[in-house]
C-alpha cells in the first residue's frame, strides 16, 4: 500500500504527534514524512529521534521534509525535497544511494526534467485545493496527474486536498500512491482515516487490474 502521512503538529487537535503517527501506522500508513516548518533545529532533531524510534519498531520508513542535515543527524531513511530546496544531486551525494529521496513537481515539465534523476518518488503538488500549505502553484487536478503519469518514469505520490472522497479518482488518474496531512492529522479517528484511504487505494488498483 502506498499511503504517506505528512505530519503537521498544528493540525492534530491538541493530540500528541506520536499518538497520531501510531494510529496512522496501525491504519496502514506505509511511510511517514516529518514536516516541521517553525521549530528550532534542536527541537526538530529531538522530535525526529522520538519518531524514528517509534517507527523502527514497525519497520516503517521515516523521511524528513526539507532538512538533509536533520535526516542525517537522526539516521532517518531519507528526505522529501521541493523545487526550491537542496537540489537532488547534492541531496543524493550527501545521503547516499540507499536513501529514500522524494521530489515535489508542480508541472508536467518538472516531472519530465525529473526523469534525469534517480528519485524514489515524485510528489505531485498540489492535486487539489488545500489550506494546509500556503502559496501553492495552481492545482494539477486529475488531468495534471494523468499528464504527469504519461511522461514520468517515477513512482507518483499525489498530495494536496486528498481525502477518502477523492482518493480513488486520484489513483485511477495515474498516481501510484497518496500523501495526506489533514485527512489523517486532523481526523477524529486517524487510524480509521488511514484505513479508509488504504481501502480506496486498493479498490482503485484492483479496478485498474480488472479493466
Ligand X SMILES: Cc1ncsc1CCOP(=O)(O)O
Ligand Y SMILES: Cc1ncc(COP(=O)(O)OP(=O)(O)O)c(N)n1
Cell of residue 168, nine digits: 480513488
Least separation, in Å, of the C-beta of 24 and ligand X? 13
Q: Which of 2, 3, 5, 6 binds ligand Y (CB under 6 A)?
A: 6
Three-state SS for 27? coil
Active site residue 191: no
Which helix (H) or strand (E) segment holds residue 104: the answer is strand 100-105
What is the binding site for Mg ion (CB under 5 A)? 66, 82, 85
How many CB atoms are closer than 10 A to CB 83? 15
Reported as type and span, the H/E element at residue 170 is helix 167-173
User: Could you tell me which stretch among 16-24, 80-88, 137-145, 196-204 binds ligand Y (CB under 6 A)?
Assistant: 80-88
114 and 87 Cβ atoms separated by less than 8 Å: no
Which option in ligand Y, Mg ion, ligand X, none does residue 157 bind, with CB closer than 5 to 8 A by kind?
Answer: ligand Y
Task: Kindly state whether residue 147 participates in binding ligand Y, applying the rule CB under 6 A.
Answer: no
130 labeled part of a ligand binding site? yes
31 binding ligand X? (CB under 6 A): no
- In whole angstroms, how far apart are CA 172 and each of 39, 85, 108, 183, 201? 37, 30, 18, 19, 9
Q: What is the smallest separation between the CB atom of 196 and ligand X, expressed in angstroms?
A: 14
| Residue 133 annotated as catalytic | yes
The verdict on 51 binding ligand X (CB under 6 A) reads no
40 is catalytic: no
Amino acid at each position: 500500500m502506498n499511503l504517506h502521512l505528512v505530519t503537521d503538529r498544528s493540525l492534530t487537535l491538541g493530540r500528541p504527534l506520536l499518538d497520531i503517527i501510531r494510529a496512522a501506522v496501525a491504519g496502514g500508513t506505509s511511510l511517514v514524512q516529518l514536516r516541521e516548518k517553525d521549530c528550532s533545529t534542536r527541537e526538530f532533531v529531538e522530535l525526529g529521534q522520538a519518531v524514528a524510534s517509534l517507527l523502527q519498531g514497525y519497520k516503517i520508513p521515516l523521511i524528513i521534509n526539507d532538512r538533509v542535515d536533520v535526516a542525517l543527524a537522526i539516521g532517518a531513511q531519507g528526505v522529501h525535497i521541493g523545487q526550491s530546496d537542496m537540489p537532488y544531486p547534492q541531496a543524493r551525494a550527501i545521503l547516499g544511494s540507499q536513501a529514500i529521496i522524494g521530489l515535489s513537481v508542480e508541472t508536467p515539465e518538472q516531472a519530465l526534467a525529473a526523469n534525469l534523476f534517480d528519485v524514489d518518488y515524485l510528489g505531485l503538488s498540489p492535486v487539489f485545493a488545500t489550506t494546509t500549505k500556503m502559496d501553492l502553484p495552481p492545482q494539477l487536478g486529475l488531468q495534471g496527474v494523468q499528464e504527469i503519469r504519461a511522461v514520468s518514469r517515477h513512482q507518483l505520490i499525489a498530495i494536496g486536498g486528498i481525502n477518502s472522497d477523492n482518493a480513488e479518482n486520484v489513483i485511477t488518474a495515474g498516481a501510484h500512491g497518496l500523501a495526506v496531512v489533514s485527512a489523517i492529522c486532523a481526523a477524529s479517528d486517524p487510524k480509521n482515516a488511514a484505513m479508509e484511504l488504504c481501502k480506496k487505494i486498493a479498490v482503485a488498483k484492483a479496478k485498474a487490474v480488472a479493466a
